[in-house]
Amino acid sequence: MKEWRSSLPEDDFLIIGHRGASAYVPENTLSSFELAEDLNADYIELDVHLTKDDEIVVMHDDDVSRTTEAAGKIKDFTLDKLKELSANRKKGEKIVASGADHEDIAIPTLSEVFEQMGTEVRYVVELKDTEQYPDIERKVVDLMKSYDLIGTDQNGFPKAVIHSFDKEALKKVHKLEEKIPLLQLLSFDEGEEAELSRKELKEVLQYASGVGVSYKAVTPVFVNTMHDKGLAVYAYTVNDAEDALKLKSMGVNGIHTNEPDILGNEKES
C-alpha cells in the first residue's frame, strides 16, 4: 500500500453532504454547508469554478442560470459581479428553505467556505470543467494548504479530499501534493454494472485513494475488487435510506447524499 493511499478510513460508512444539505436549503451555499454540519455530515461536498478574475467560487454548474437570477458562464463574471447574484433559485424559482433564512444567498468563494466552516467540518472538493480554468488545480491546492487542510484531523480522517471525473486534473493534483486523497469519479449508465478494465484500474491506482461511483451501478463484486486493490468506494447520490443501507451492507465506504440525516441513528448500527 502506498503511504499516500492509506489515510481514508477503511471500515467506516461516511455521510458526505452533497452540495451541503442540498435537499433542504439552496445547494453549495454557506447555509447548506452549515446545515450539513448541524446534521453531522462527516464531509461536505462542493464544486468549484474560476471567475474571470481568477477567484475560486463554489457552484455546481459552470453557468449561473439554473441557480441564480442571471445567465452566463462563471468564467465571464468577475467576483464582484457574481456577488451581486443570489444562489437561491432553482429553475427560476426560490427554493423554500426549511429552517433556513429565506433571504437571498450569495455565491460563496472557496476561501469564504474554508474561513467560515474551518476545520470543524471536512471537505470533498470537486474539480469541474477544468479545461476552462487553467491552473485551477494549483489554486485549489494552494488554498487548501493555506487553510491547513492537508493531512488528517484528530480522528485520523483526511481534512480534505478532492474528487473529479477528470483524471488528468486528479493526476495534476497528485503531482502537486500527494498527501491529498483523490477519488476518481466514475459514471455508469442506467442498468450498467460498475467495472474498471485492468488497464483503467492500473491507471487509477497511480494517483487515487478511491472511486466515487453512481450508486445504482455498485455491486458487491465491484466493491470487493476495489477493496482488494486498496481503493475505497463512495456512492453518489443516495437519497433513500433503504438504498443507503443496502450499499452499507455491500461494504461501500460512504455515500454522497442531499440529506445528511438520511440514516439518523441507523448510521452507527
* Closer residue to ligand G3P, CB minimum distance, 45 or 63: 45
Q: How far is CA 220 from CA 75, 104, 147, 197, in A?
A: 41, 44, 37, 17
Residue 237: Cβ-neighbour burial (10 angstroms; 0-12, 13-18, 19+):
middle
Rounded least distance, CB 187 to ligand G3P, Å: 8
Instruction: Pick from 27, 37, 126, 166 the residue near Ca ion by CB under 5 A.
Output: 126
What is residue 5's DSSP assignment?
G
Q: Which is nearer to ligand G3P, 181 or 212 (CB)?
A: 212
Give the SS3 label for residue 213. Answer: strand
- The interface partner of residue 122, options being Ca ion, ligand G3P, none and the CB cut-off 5 to 8 Å by kind, is none
Nearest-approach distance from CB 241 to ligand G3P, in angstroms? 17
Expressed in angstroms, the distance from the first to the final Cα of the chain is: 29
- Known active-site residue 60: yes
The minimum distance between CB 221 and Ca ion, in angstroms, equals 26
Q: Could you say which of 49, 60, 163, 174 is catalytic?
A: 60
Among 37, 42, 47, 166, binds Ca ion (CB under 5 A): 47
259 is in the binding site of which of ligand G3P, Ca ion, none (Cβ under 5 to 8 A by kind)? none
Candidates 234, 67, 258; CA nearest to 162 is 234
The smaller minimum CB distance to ligand G3P, of residues 105 and 161, is found at 161
| Interface positions with ligand G3P (CB under 6 A) | 18, 45, 47, 60, 126, 185, 212, 236-237, 256
Q: State the cell numbers at 31.
A: 447555509
102 belongs to the catalytic site: no
Is the distance from CB of 239 to CB of 259 less than 8 angstroms?
yes
Nearer to ligand G3P, 4 or 165 (CB): 165
C-alpha cell at 127: 474539480
Cβ atoms within 10 Å of 65's Cβ, excluding its own: 14
Active-site residue list: 18, 60
Residues that bind Ca ion (CB under 5 A): 47, 126
